[in-house]
Structure 1
Amino acid sequence: MPNTTYKSTMQIMVFICIILSFLLLKDFDFFASYFTIEHLQTFKTIFISILLEAMPFILLGVLMSSFLQTFVSERAIQRFIPKKPLLGILFACLLGILFPMCECGMIPVVRRLILKGMPVYIAVVFIITGPIINPIVFAATFMAFRNHPTLAYSRMGLALLVAIIIGLILYRFVKNNPLRNSRTSFATLSDLESHQHAGGISSKLNTFFVHASNEFFDMGKYLVFGSLLTAIIQVYIQRESLLAIGQGPISSHVFMMGFAYVLSLCSTSDAFVASSFQTSFTSGSLLTFLVFGPMLDFKSTLMLLAVFKSRFVMILIILISTTVLACSLLWERLLT
């Protein structure tokens, strides 16, 4: 695990150096025109705001992950999981209501749950619905769209529909463990559990804090890198030139999916961003933004790649993108 962490960190540093080298090799006037005081100030504000918004949820997630690691046995997890796939999917949606977190905090929890015996399809449904189907997000969406409250209900309903479809597909076709280094992780997990049984409460508390710190830095580096690139994109993207797409029957949905992916907003605040586009975009495309963004964005993609194998993440990206687009277009047709 330390070698993997070192390798991924070095890859990130090399990528950043390549970007900076490319910019420095450009004409200085071109470079200076893009890196004005205003641009740098905006970049700093966006970068820090993304970090401050997501960091508490990552901390909450790793603490919950450490609690599961230390105090909850594999047998207890397996006893509460329904055997039938549809009930398992609904159970995962219920977990989102009981544990309202964004995807930043859920991903480390889900890794631990899978190692403890939770089926992959239930774990993935928990990741994609938890940031949407919870009371905090519903309240925020309802407040943001006070003049159009049906969007808040539609957001919950569409997220549930997408989760059921994706969950059933994963149940049917994904049979292998998609976790990175699952053998090493499982061996480490078994060793830790054996050590916990041998020790007392002080040993368990020590394991809890050691695991929490390791998990926090493991997930944190992907959050920092994702926040960095997200801030760069937000500073230099020309929003005004793209608003003409907002009224297209399909292009508006595709654009808002890409917009949500790039912005990487927390699900508790994205509704207020979406509400500012009510006069420019269709209600259906806004709904696409509200459902797709919490399920998949740039920041969460990097964190998923830290937990799951690349092939599985690509399958997940295709599944989420196509299912959200198809369901939101159908939802818009039925409501208009």
Structure 2
Amino acid sequence: MTTPAEVVEKAPEEEEPAGSSIAFTATLVLLVGLALFGRKIFAGAFTDDGVRTWATMFVGVTVQAMPFLVLGVFLSAALTAFVPASFFAKALPKHPALAVPVASVSGVVLPGCECASVPVSAALMNRGVTPAAAIAFLLSAPAINPVVLASTAVAFPGQPKVVIARAVTSLGVSMILGWLWLLTGKGSDWLKMPKNRHPEGTGKLEVFRSSMLHDFLHAGGFLVVGAAAAATLNVVVPRQWLDHVASNLLVSVIVLGLLAVLLAICSEADAFVAARPEPVLVDRAARVHGGRPDRGREADRVAGRDVRAEVRRQVRAGHLRGGGLVQSSRRMVAAVRRNVAGLVVVFVGAAVAQLATTGTYLRYVKPGMRWMLLAAGAILIVLAVVDVLADTRKKDDADHAVRGDDGHGHHGLPRAAWLLLIPVFALLVVDPPALGADAAQRQSPVSSKPAAPKGNSWLADSAQGDTPVPLAVRDYAVWAVWEKESMKGRNFQLTGFVTPGKNGTWYVSRIGLTCCVADGTAFMVEARGQVAPPKNQWVTVTGEWAEPTKRADGDIAALTITGVRTVTPPANQYE
């Protein structure tokens, strides 16, 4: 008769799924290979100006949105783990009609996008909250929470009315739709409640970790899709088409509304889209992962583990209990091998942190983003490391079943999450530069009317002289057209890159950013009297104010050049 100990000793060891090991190994080899040899292998493949401009805008949108995405999933995971859904149910009035506006206003406490509001709204309905109130919360939370309102304020600097209008309109729409749902007399029969990804008894820290990883992998993949759409619209669609859309209120409302429906724009980043018609940042609410397409379990039962978890430890042989150094190290290796999700997250986090520490981020976003990027990168790296460590503690069948269902793919990565490797590939192989002449050529050199005229009145009081006055290109491009009287007869010094024009003309140019390169605006000054240096060459020019060039669509600032010298591009090439 075989003893229990003998049964355990004869049982085969736990084996990791072959597919996950192959995926991990292939991903690791690919990323390390690209880091070491990518630029040599693909040398000459990404030299086209248009391709590099697209890559810069693609990476820029991704980098700009990453801190907001990380903050959103961090806070939403914290609320999922530490704030029970019953709290919201108790806070709502019993009468459904009164519960709707209270639920709408309650959306302000849930930072994050639809990835957070969808599961929370489902949990509210599962706890007995009227569907109309849960739907009102679902619609308001992604639009009025602090993260979204803060991103709106960043996208529209100095325009608090936009933030207020968004909050008020979103609240109104969510209430109206909630009441309409009530009036239809339809209940939860129309809605299929998703299953809870965390079974009863799961620790709060485990819920927090897995929720954050799940939401980041799903939302991050669709963020990359949105960044690609934004870059494509900027590079492929002619700027005059976009200007025409922006100039017509009715057309712009219809077009942007259709884009929002078709592309499912993320609430954490849609303000940056609305700030200009051309960039489009996309995301989509994460689906609750329920298993394989055939509805089968994702975690298969491990061979040899047919003894119940409660008695397994008691029937093991003494030398097998607790494990040793070799067993622990083998478990760690096994956990790392199957954790493709952790590998993707750690590479994304490392890329973000590297951009911030080296100053490369200045090619894509404004200097004020540095600390936000450092924090986002550090959080992602810690999340990936903690996820690997958590795998080493998961040994029983129930734990493996839960982790197979949690949606972030220890035994298989969500397909959308693989898209997060595309910006990593772009950074390792293409090395997108700061925007230059190609981006400027896609815009008009016509000077825009300043919002606040007389901005250079100090020039009228300064002494006239031969010493050139150093000015930013964006300032000269505006003032030379709209403040002629104070500019006449003066010499100026400008620093920028060379942008070739038509019929032998050339411009001294700089790009100005509001948030990131996707909203970059070119400021160009026509250079007269000198032969054009090479395209994209950085120069410092001196010269005298010249009468602006007249065009049907406006005037172009001009400078009669008396001296040109080449210079090294500054660390921050934007104004």
TM bucket normalised to smaller = 0.5 to 0.7
- Report if the CA contact (8 A) 1:74-1:117 is conserved: no
The alpha-carbon distance between structure 1 residues 234 and 260, as it changes in their structure 2 partners (threshold 3 A), is farther
2:144 is paired with a residue whose SS is coil
- Structure 2 residue aligned with 1:165: 176
1:250 and 2:250 are equivalent in the alignment: yes
Alignment of 1:212-251 (within 5 A): 212-246=212-246, 248=248, 250-251=250-251
The alpha-carbon distance between structure 1 residues 232 and 266, as it changes in their structure 2 partners (threshold 3 A), is same
- Structure 1 residue aligned with 2:187: 175
1:156 and 2:138 are equivalent in the alignment: no
CA distance in 2 between counterparts of 1:89 and 1:153 reads 21
1:299 and 2:310 are equivalent in the alignment: no
- Structure 2 residue aligned with 1:328: none
- Structure 2 residue aligned with 1:42: 53
- Report if the CA contact (8 A) 1:61-1:108 is conserved: no
Alignment of 1:121-140 (within 5 A): 121-134=132-145
- Report if the CA contact (8 A) 2:111-2:146 is conserved: yes
More strand per residue = 2
2:188 is paired with a residue whose SS is coil
2:285 is paired with a residue whose SS is helix
Cα deviation for residue 254 of structure 1 reads: 0.8
Based on CA coordinates, which of the two structures has the bigger radius of gyration? 2
Alignment of 1:58-73 (within 5 A): 58-73=69-84
Listed as ranges, the gaps of 5+ residues in structure 2 are 1-19, 21-45, 290-575
1:299 is paired with a residue whose SS is coil
- Structure 2 residue aligned with 1:9: none
Letter in 1 for 2:285: M
CA distance in 2 between counterparts of 1:243 and 1:211 reads 42
The alpha-carbon distance between structure 1 residues 40 and 207, as it changes in their structure 2 partners (threshold 3 A), is same
CA distance in 1 between counterparts of 2:220 and 2:253 reads 31
Alignment of 1:1-336 (within 5 A): 37-103=48-114, 105-107=116-118, 109-134=120-145, 144=156, 146=158, 150-173=161-184, 174-176=186-188, 182=194, 185-186=195-196, 188-189=197-198, 192-193=199-200, 195-196=201-202, 203-246=203-246, 248=248, 250-258=250-258, 274=274, 299-300=282-283, 302-303=284-285, 306=287
2:93 is paired with a residue whose SS is coil
Aligned-pair identity in percent equals 29
CA distance in 1 between counterparts of 2:189 and 2:66 reads 28
Q: What do residues 203-262 of structure 1 show as CA deviations (whole Å, max 9, x unaligned)?
A: 442343234323432443333344434443443223412433445563342123245567
- Report if the CA contact (8 A) 2:152-2:163 is conserved: yes
Cα deviation for residue 72 of structure 1 reads: 4.0
CA distance in 1 between counterparts of 2:133 and 2:58 reads 33
The alpha-carbon distance between structure 1 residues 153 and 75, as it changes in their structure 2 partners (threshold 3 A), is closer
CA distance in 1 between counterparts of 2:263 and 2:207 reads 36
CA distance in 1 between counterparts of 2:151 and 2:218 reads 30
CA distance in 2 between counterparts of 1:273 and 1:298 reads 6
The alpha-carbon distance between structure 1 residues 128 and 211, as it changes in their structure 2 partners (threshold 3 A), is closer
Cα deviation for residue 79 of structure 1 reads: 1.6
CA distance in 2 between counterparts of 1:77 and 1:66 reads 16
CA distance in 2 between counterparts of 1:232 and 1:94 reads 37
Larger CA deviation: 154-163 vs 118-127: 118-127
- Report if the CA contact (8 A) 2:80-2:208 is conserved: yes
Letter in 1 for 2:91: F
The alpha-carbon distance between structure 1 residues 81 and 254, as it changes in their structure 2 partners (threshold 3 A), is same
- Report if the CA contact (8 A) 1:66-1:209 is conserved: yes
Cα deviation for residue 180 of structure 1 reads: 6.6
CA distance in 2 between counterparts of 1:298 and 1:172 reads 35
Output the TM-score relative to the length of structure 2: 0.34
CA distance in 2 between counterparts of 1:254 and 1:134 reads 25
Cα deviation for residue 274 of structure 1 reads: 4.8
CA distance in 2 between counterparts of 1:64 and 1:142 reads 19
Listed as ranges, the gaps of 5+ residues in structure 1 are 1-5, 7-34, 197-202, 278-288, 309-336
- Report if the CA contact (8 A) 2:76-2:110 is conserved: no
- Structure 1 residue aligned with 2:383: none
CA distance in 2 between counterparts of 1:181 and 1:41 reads 45
- Report if the CA contact (8 A) 2:144-2:170 is conserved: yes
- Report if the CA contact (8 A) 2:104-2:136 is conserved: yes
Letter in 2 for 1:97: V
Letter in 1 for 2:144: I
1:217 is paired with a residue whose SS is helix
CA distance in 1 between counterparts of 2:214 and 2:268 reads 27
More helix per residue = 1
Output the TM-score relative to the length of structure 1: 0.53
Cα deviation for residue 169 of structure 1 reads: 2.3
Q: Considering Cα pairs closer than 8 Å and 6+ residues apart, tell me whether 1 or 2 has the greater RCO.
A: 1
Letter in 2 for 1:243: D
